[in-house]
A = this chain, B = another copy of it.
Amino acid sequence: MAARRLNNPLALAVLTLLVERPMHPYEMSSTLKERSKQESIKLNYGSLYSVIESLLKRGLIEVQQTTREGKRPERTVYAVTDEGRDVMVDWLSELLSTPAKEFPQFEAGLSLMPALGVDQAIALLERRLDQLRRQHEVGRRMLRQASELGLPRLFSIEHEYELALQTAEIEFVDELLDELKSGAFPGVQIWRRIHELRSTGLSMDEVDARIRDEFAEEYPWLDEQ
């Protein structure tokens, strides 16, 4: 009845910490924060405790001891099991070796973009580009500082990855904006026309008919389907 496979990378982080040494949950969370791992692995208390519960149920970790000081809440110290060690290696190996399908918010936004008007979209993308550039500058500065302090890149390689993705996104948005603004982007006329017609109060069906009529030659795909 193998319970649904554990998915939250936070559980993997817990395993790697417990391979180093036994810890109690709060210590795990502080250690992750200290090492800036919470920037690449979503960390919040609720999830941490439920993820630990889940690891326990699967036998990947076990209770080492529970202590109590004064009237403070009980502290439970956990340790990794042999099986947990194996799962850690397998899971981490998979994360590194196998590209996973992700669903970035911006990708969703782009795919629904035609629901807005062209000019609105341009303005929004310009704001994005602005913020991206600013964030990117901040990120670069922090990496430089870390390297000046002599921290080996090994411990911030994930931030370099983030910067690489950010650079790519900046280039993408920049080029897209150029094409949209110059009108070179294929489809921008039809997009503009649809919103023009819509805003005159026509129904979607009527808009559709007009569009097919006006753009039939340019876009043969309008006929299909």
Query: Which residues of A are in contact with B by a Cβ distance under 8 Å?
Result: 9, 12-13, 16, 19-21, 37, 40-42, 88-89, 92-93, 95-100, 102-116, 120-121, 124-125, 127-128, 131-132, 135, 149-155, 157-158, 160-162, 164-165, 167-169, 171-172, 176, 185-188, 190-191, 204, 219-221
Contact = CB atoms under 8 A, between A and B. Distances in A.
Nearest to A224: B149
Nearest to A134: B99
A171 B161 contact: no
A125 B96 contact: yes
A115 B113 CA distance: 41
How many copies, total? Answer: 2
B153 A186 contact: yes
Contacts of A188: 154
10 contacts: A40-B103, A92-B115, A96-B125, A97-B128, A102-B102, A152-B219, A154-B190, A155-B187, A164-B169, A165-B169
A41 B172 CA distance: 20
A185 B37 CA distance: 21
A116 B103 contact: no
